[in-house]
Structures are given as structure tokens and as C-alpha cells.
Amino acid sequence: MHTLAVVLRKFGMALGALGLISVLVVTPAAAQSQPSNLADRIDLVGLTTRQPTPDSPVNEVQFQATVNYRLQSVDSAFVLLFLFENSANDSTQDTSNSINIQRGSGQLVLNIPYTLRQDVKTLTLVAGMFKGEQKLIAWVSTNPIDMGPWPGRVYFEKAMAARLNNDFTAADTDLTQAIQEAPDTGNFYYWRGDTRVRMEDYTDAVTDFDHAIQLMPSDRPSRVGRGISHLWLGDLSGAIDDLSFAIDNAPSGDRVSAWAFRARGLAYARLGQSQSAVADYQNYLSLSPDAADRDLVQGWITQLS
């Protein structure tokens, strides 16, 4: 049996000495791990977060980490999962019940619940492999996970479900609640703006896309959304500026570019710039070979040519 308090104390000291909490990436693929010999290692290969149940408080989070391990230096060891709040060197929470492993390789799924507090902005998860009562032999961590959007996630999921049912009024209400819970989450403003475009509330949509772009300056979908809103409000110059940004800043042609070309083509057509409109429509069709409105757009090209 190991003495958990001693393990936690030594574990926290080891992480602090190694500067673990200073890293800044969040994906498991870029997870940080302890330099070790080839005999023992532990790797993070998957991480999911979810609400424990639909009726759970919005600040309850369930983390599930999937790790691969290899143990060669001793016959047996055990694995624990820890949570570190913000930049703390001492763990806030652990899985308590260790998982015993034997010499060889394998995969473990580790679950840990957490109740988010208002002063916690980031969480770092660390899986540690120990031998004896307190010797840490390998570890792997996530990079700090931004928990800012979490309180609004329940309402966001409800909004997405409402959108699938074409209930945009309910989606708007839920997204408004999500924004109240997490006002610095740009994606919530983007989706409410997109919802309001579908409700033909273009003025409020522009305001939402403005917020989204302030929080996510390089977000191309928000630029397209604002550009489309400007288009329907008759601000053709503003529409072209936003849509051109989305097109010019694309690493390659994609769906975002396709919709930007379509909308910019409409703006150019309204300005009487037929040649530019035709070029944009053709780019739209090239990037959207399965477009449901292909015949319609092809008709626009014919009229302008």
C-alpha cells in the first residue's frame, strides 16, 4: 500500500521543479511528458470532457483521459490521475484509487470528476506512474485547458440541438444564456450571430460578429457571417471587406472560402461589377462541386456574362 499524502507531496514537488505548469498547448498530441529511459513511459492518447448528466450543475465536469503505458524497470507499479488548478504546483484533486499495472504494455482509461470554481481559469491533468510507495517513474500531462467556456457549454449544446430542429428562437435564447455564463467565449457570439442571420435579424447579427472578431481576430467564419450581414443591410463595401479577408487569409480553398466567394459575388453584382461577380460565382462552384444551388448560381453567371 502506498501513502497517498506522501505521494502527492513528492509528486507536486517533482512537477514544480520540472516547470510543468509553464507549457501552453492543450491537445493530447502535444502533451508534455517526463524525459525517461526507454524502459518506462506513459503517453496521453485521448482526452474528453463532458457534463456528467444533462441535469448536473453547469460547473460539473467529467474528464476522461486515455493513456498508453510501458513498464519494464519493475514487476509492478500503479497509475494516478491528478488535477492542477491555474498555475498551482500542488494538485487539487486526484483519482484516489490507484490502478495497478504489471510489467509490459497496455492502455488505461482514467476518469476524474471536477467541480469548477469561479477563480479557476485553467486546469492541467497529469497522469503519473509510480513504483513502491512514493517513487514517480514517468508522467505525462495535458497543457493548461481553458475552462472559461465551460459554464456556458450546457446552454450551447441546447442551442445546437434547437438549431438542428430549425427552432432558431430557442437557439437564440440558449446562446444568450451561454454568453451570460461565459462572456469571453468568441464562438458563442459567432453562433448567435449565425442564428440571427437565419432569423433575418442582421443588425444584431453584426453586433455579435463584432464581439466574436474582437475575441477571435483571425476567425474567418465570423468575417463571413459579418460580411453576409452587411450584404443584406446594404453595406456592400463593408461586406466586400469582410468577405475578402476570409478569402485572402485562407491557407487553401475550403467551405468558408466558398461561401465568401458566393456572398462577395452577390455584392459585386449589386455594384454592377459583373466580371468580378462572375469570377466569384465560378470560384464558389469550383470549391462546392456538390452545391445544392449549382443551377441557380450557374443561372446568375449566364445572366451576367
Query: How many other β-carbons are positioned within 10 Å of the β-carbon of residue 17?
Result: 9
- Strands 93-94 and 60-85, by their bridges, are antiparallel
Q: Which value, to the nearest 10 degrees, does the dihedral of the CA atoms of residues 62, 13, 5, 130 take?
A: 70
pLDDT at 259: 96
pLDDT at 33: 55
Degrees to nearest 5, angle at CA 222 with 280 and 281: 10
In the numeric block, the cell 430542429 is attached to: 165
Fold agreement between 4-146 and 150-304: no
Distance of CA 46 to the CA centre of its chain: 14
pLDDT at 213: 97
CB distance 224 to 257 below 8 Å: no
| Cα end-to-end span (Å), the chain | 81
What topology is assigned to 4-146 in CATH?
A: Immunoglobulin-like (2.60.40)
**What is the block-wise mean pLDDT of the chain (305 residues), using blocks of 10 residues?**
40 39 32 61 88 71 91 92 85 74 94 85 89 85 81 83 94 94 91 97 98 96 97 97 95 90 97 97 94 95 94
Query: Of 118, 53, 71, 65, nearest to 94 (Cα)?
Result: 65
Q: For 150-304, CATH number?
A: 1.25.40.10
CB distance 95 to 60 below 8 Å: no
pTM for the model stands at 0.64
Domain boundaries of the chain, sorted by first residue: 4-146, 150-304
User: How many whole angstroms separate alpha carbon 98 and alpha carbon 14?
Assistant: 19
pLDDT at 179: 94
pLDDT at 18: 33
